[in-house]
């Protein structure tokens, strides 16, 4: 059985129950009223005429008559004042669910009570309709707000994604050198601290080379700053190509100074690769913007200071390690440039 059928039959049951209760009420009033009236009349007669038995005997007919008349009057009064308005009220409430309440449904149009009830029912119905409209409007508002919220959430997500991308770019910018794209000094120092600690802990090998282009001031003056920039980029590319293991770190420390950090690399292996890098730099022919053949371009050399850390050659700190490589570079410069010097 469907739910609507069940609801309908429940409503019908309720209507039948109400009708039964109304009939029962009417029956009880019909019995109670004559009994009460009869008792009142008897009491009155007894008071007036002395004893109850003589009163009953002599005025029985009169008492019955009076009781009947009074009962009928009282019943008519109850019907008019109580039962009929109750029925009209019930019908009115039922009618509220379906629409406007017609006057005929509640009673004669001329009946002031029925008219007043109809008016009240209409007012209640209108109030309920307004409340329903208001709930509908609020529901629409909530749905609209929900949609707006969804849009704003999407916009926020997209803004967050953009922000994350910009942050990544910013982080990359703050870790990379603008001209060459290599790691900058900040990123290098971070890596040096990390790799130094690791080598210390694991008693591993760590090689560190500082490379500085020779007489770069003169190079710039002779060929122009643009050619100088191109030379820096070319050397950076060369280093990146030579040191491409995952663990290798190549950075530009400043102007014409580069650094290479090689975890797990022995001093002899590092020395071999760095010597070949030095030779490659000397072989570079950089166009100087004069339009001449590139092979006849500007010549460049590099000096290298190399320090190597191992269990037999420990350093006290990362800073001391870097300083050792710097001192080796100074020696290479002092010895005439275009060479590699080992840290003492
Ligand atoms: N083109 C160019 N030049 C730079 C850049 N950064 C630094 N320089 C120049 O590099 C030159 C470095 O000069 P110095 O410190 O005297 O060193 P050097 O001339 O190479 O001499 P040594 O290092 O002793 O061989 C300066 O003239 C700087 O202007 C850069 O990004 N681009």
CATH of domain 185-342: 3.30.70.270
User: What pLDDT shows up at residue 55?
Assistant: 55
Q: Please work out whether the CB of residue 19 comes within 6 Å of at least one atom of ligand 1.
A: no
Ligand 1 atom 26, closest CA: 217
User: Encoding tokens for residue 82?
Assistant: 């109580």
Ligand 1 atom 11, closest CA: 217
Could you say which residues of the chain have pLDDT below 50? 1-8, 11, 291-295
User: What pLDDT shows up at residue 116?
Assistant: 81
Distance CA 344, CA 338 (A): 19
Please state the domain extents for the chain.
3-98, 185-342
Pair 329, 212: CB distance under 8 Å: yes
Q: Please classify residue 256 by burial: count the beta carbons closer than 10 Å to its beta carbon, then call 0-12 exposed, 13-18 middle and 19+ buried.
A: buried
Ligand 1 atom 7, closest CA: 255
User: What pLDDT shows up at residue 305?
Assistant: 98
User: What pLDDT shows up at residue 3?
Assistant: 46
User: What pLDDT shows up at residue 50?
Assistant: 54
Instruction: Using alpha carbons only, give the angle 155, 159, 162 rounded to the nearest 5 degrees.
Output: 140
Torsion over CA: 16, 19, 21, 23 (sign): negative
3 state DSSP class of 159: helix
324: Cβ contacts below 8 Å, ≥ 6 apart: 208, 307, 315, 343, 344
The reported pTM is: 0.58
User: What pLDDT shows up at residue 263?
Assistant: 98
> Ligand 1: which of 184, 226, 255, 334 to mutate, most ligand atoms within 8 Å of CB?
255
- DSSP letters, 50-117, are S-HHHHHHHHHHHHHHHHHHHHHHHHHHHIIIIIHHHHHHHHHHHHHTTS---HHHHS-TT-HHHHHH
Q: Please classify residue 104 by burial: count the beta carbons closer than 10 Å to its beta carbon, then call 0-12 exposed, 13-18 middle and 19+ buried.
A: exposed
ipTM over 0.90? The verdict is yes
Distance CA 272, CA 265 (A): 11
């Amino acid at each position: 059985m469907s739910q609507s059928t069940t609801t309908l039959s429940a409503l019908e049951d309720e209507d039948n129950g109400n009708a039964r209760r109304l009939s029962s009420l009417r029956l009880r009033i019909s019995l109670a009223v004559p009994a009460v009236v009869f008792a009142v009349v008897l009491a009155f007669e007894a008071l007036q005429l002395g004893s109850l038995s003589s009163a009953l005997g002599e005025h029985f007919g009169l008492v019955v008559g009076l009781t009947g008349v009074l009962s009928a009057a009282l019943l008519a009064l109850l019907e008019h004042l109580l039962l009929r308005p109750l029925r009209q009220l019930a019908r009115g409430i039922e009618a509220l669910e379906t629409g406007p309440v017609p006057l005929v449904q509640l009673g004669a149009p001329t009946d002031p009570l029925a008219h007043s009830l109809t008016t009240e029912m209409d007012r209640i119905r209108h109030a309920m309709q307004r409340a329903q409209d208001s709930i509908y409007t609020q529901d629409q508002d909530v749905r609209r707000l929900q949609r707006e919220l969804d849009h704003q959430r999407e916009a926020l997500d997209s803004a967050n994604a953009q922000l994350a991308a910009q942050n990544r770019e910013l982080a990359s910018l703050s870790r990379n050198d603008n001209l060459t794209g290599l790691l900058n000094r900040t990123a290098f120092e971070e890596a040096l601290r990390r790799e130094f600690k690791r080598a210390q802990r694991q008693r591993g090998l760590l090689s560190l080379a500082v490379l500085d282009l020779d007489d770069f001031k003169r190079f710039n003056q002779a060929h122009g700053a643009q050619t100088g920039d191109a030379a820096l980029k070319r050397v950076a590319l060369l280093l990146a190509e030579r040191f491409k293991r995952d663990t290798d770190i190549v950075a530009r420390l400043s102007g014409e100074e580069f650094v290479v950090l090689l975890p797990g690399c022995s001093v002899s292996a590092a020395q071999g690769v760095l010597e070949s890098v030095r030779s490659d730099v000397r072989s570079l022919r950089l166009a100087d913007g004069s339009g001449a053949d590139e092979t006849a371009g500007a010549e460049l050399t590099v000096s290298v200071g190399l320090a190597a850390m191992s269990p037999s050659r420990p350093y006290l700190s990362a800073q001391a390690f870097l300083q050792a490589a710097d001192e080796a570079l100074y020696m290479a410069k002092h010895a005439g440039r275009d060479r590699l010097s080992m840290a003492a």
